[in-house]
Amino acid sequence: MQKVALVTGAGRGIGRKICLELAENGYDIAGVDILLDQDNKDKGLPEVQQRVEGFDKKFLPIQADIAYLNNHPKILDSTLEKFGRIDVLVNNAGVAPEKRIDILETTPESYDRVLSINTRGAFFLTQKIAKHMIQQVGEETNSKSCIIFISSISVYVSSPSRPEYCISKAALSAAAKIFADRLAAYGINVYEVRPGIIQTDMTASVKEKYDKLIAEGLIPQKRWGLPKDVARAVASLARGDFAYSTGLVVEVSGGMHIQRL
């Protein structure tokens, strides 16, 4: 049976690499992104589509803002229409605050924006896809589905200049744990992948700052993380390498969780 993965934030960065890694691992992919320029084949979803098809796998580009819950039926329905099933959901889409501002000045607008995408959008999309997965598991013997949340080390690291991001990821981590608990009865495993400092467009504006911190030893494994580091962890979870470990948190941060003296 041809397996299918639904990946949000698929047009660039970590999400793009997750699509390619899963395609290489044999999945057809539905890739969701807020941006879609069909005329530009060099970037975004059209570029990812070409790369996925290079692995002889199918790719469905879906333009949708996951923050708007009324987009979620379109995401589910168009994926089912094209592929007939969903085996893996990767909640990857996420944003940083537009401006880094001290916690004493955080605006309600930025707080709501970040949480509506990173947390609320991912939570309700998962709720919708999980209900489909429950139905799918009920109809098939030996069916295995899984859901993966891309959180961040910001779950436990304090960044006073972007508290709304840290809060959004801490709440997402809680959502991953609770879905893991609830869905275990159906054989649907739920995991959290917690990236550290990963070289993507999201971190481009703070590259110099992080280059310096890394050179000074912030990360035990003394290098930037790459989208591939995260994508390989996701592929391993999707493949079932951690089949008896629902609720597992996989940190991909070069050891940033190690407290040092």
Ligand X SMILES: NC(=O)c1ccc[n+]([C@@H]2O[C@H](COP(=O)([O-])OP(=O)(O)OC[C@H]3O[C@@H](n4cnc5c(N)ncnc54)[C@H](O)[C@@H]3O)[C@@H](O)[C@H]2O)c1
Nearest distance, CB of residue 148 and ligand X, angstroms: 11
247: burial class by Cβ within 10 Å (0-12, 13-18, 19+)?
middle
Q: In terms of DSSP H, where are the helices of 6-71? A: 13-24, 44-54
**CA–CA–CA angle 188, 15, 78 (5° rounding):** 65
Residue 74 near residue 65, CB atoms below 8 Å: no
73: burial class by Cβ within 10 Å (0-12, 13-18, 19+)?
exposed
Q: Which amino acid is at 8?
A: T
Would you tell me how many other CB atoms lie within 10 Å of the CB of residue 159? Answer: 16
Q: What is the C-alpha R_g of the chain?
A: 18
Run of H or E residues at 180: helix 163-183
Among 165, 186, 191, 244, the one annotated catalytic: 165
Compare residues 35 and 215 and give the one whose CB is closer to ligand X.
35
Nearest distance, CB of residue 38 and ligand X, angstroms: 15
Nearest distance, CB of residue 73 and ligand X, angstroms: 15
Q: How far apart are CA 252 and CA 64, in angstroms?
A: 28
Compare residues 22 and 136 and give the one whose CB is closer to ligand X.
22
Backbone angles phi, psi at 47, to 5 degrees: -70, -40
Compare residues 134 and 202 and give the one whose CB is closer to ligand X.
202
Backbone angles phi, psi at 159, to 5 degrees: -125, 95
Active site (annotated) includes residue 210: no
Backbone angles phi, psi at 29, to 5 degrees: -130, 135
Nearest distance, CB of residue 8 and ligand X, angstroms: 6
Compare residues 91 and 136 and give the one whose CB is closer to ligand X.
91
Binding positions for ligand X, rule: CB under 6 A: 8-9, 11-15, 32-35, 65-67, 92-95, 117, 150, 152, 195, 197-198, 200-203
Residue 30 near residue 63, CB atoms below 8 Å: no
Compare residues 136 and 173 and give the one whose CB is closer to ligand X.
173
Nearest distance, CB of residue 197 and ligand X, angstroms: 5
Indicate which residues carry an active-site annotation: 165
